[in-house]
A and B are shown apart, each in its own frame.
Chain A
Amino acid sequence: EPEVTQTPSHQVTQMGQEVILRCVPISNHLYFYWYRQILGQKVEFLVSFYNNEISEKSEIFDDQFSVERPDGSNFTLKIRSTKLEDSAMYFCASDTRGRYTGELFFGEGSRLTVL
């Protein structure tokens, strides 16, 4: 069964450092998303990406965040200068365009710990 893969599974970083979280979406998918979940809280939408540009972003997704699809397979989330409050699980997701399947495929997540 196709799956979304994310790396690293866990990253520990110092406050102020740059972090890049990587995702490989399912190969024939065209919409890509990042969500995050702070420990014990709701899953929150960060950004959606289609056709090499951001289609929607939340208030959380400020200038410290950026996304990129540098090649045909990877989809990355960069946090330029991490803060303590960026500590969370970050989930990548993807889905198809066109015929509505209703199913969003999520990866297992990358846990970010900012010290």
Chain B
Amino acid sequence: DAKTTQPNSMESNEEEPVHLPCNHSTISGTDYIHWYRQLPSQGPEYVIHGLTSNVNNRMASLAIAEDRKSSTLILHRATLRDAAVYYCILREKRQGGSEKLVFGKGMKLTVNP
């Protein structure tokens, strides 16, 4: 499985933007970049995914480097509820089907009030 590298942890302040980096230098052309997060005592939760272009949704934005070897998850205004472990995962798109997620250790985001 192609691997990703994330910092172990980050801190941010409430209502400020936070940029969560991820390196994936061995990404292949068929790998999608996914971000999930896991709040304390809950199951993983989908955040966003992309292939080549930057993506926005109601939760976050995903900025993908032109060479696709890195990406950044952007939370525009961090809230206390955003404190979680964030996982950057490469997932291969299979024709007509789905591929398992391989979780790493992730990055713990602490949001200070």
Chain A contacts to B: CB under 8 angstroms: 4, 31, 33, 35, 42-45, 48, 50, 56, 91, 93, 95-98, 100, 102-109
Contact = CB atoms under 8 A, between A and B. Distances in A.
Given A42-B103, A108-B43, A109-B43, A103 B49 contact: yes
A106 B104 contact: no
A60 to B, nearest CB: 12
B44 A106 contact: yes
Interface string B83-113: 0000100010100111011111110000000
Contacts, number: 58
B45 interface: yes
Q: Looking at chain B's contact residues, is the secondary structure mostly helix, strand, loop, or mixed?
A: loop
B103 A44 contact: yes
B23 interface: no
Given A102-B91, A108-B43, A43 B100 contact: no
Most B Cβ at <10 Å: residue of A43, A44, A98, A105: A43
Contact of A45 (B42, B97, B101): B101
A109 B102 CA distance: 18
Given A42-B103, A42-B105, A109 B42 contact: yes
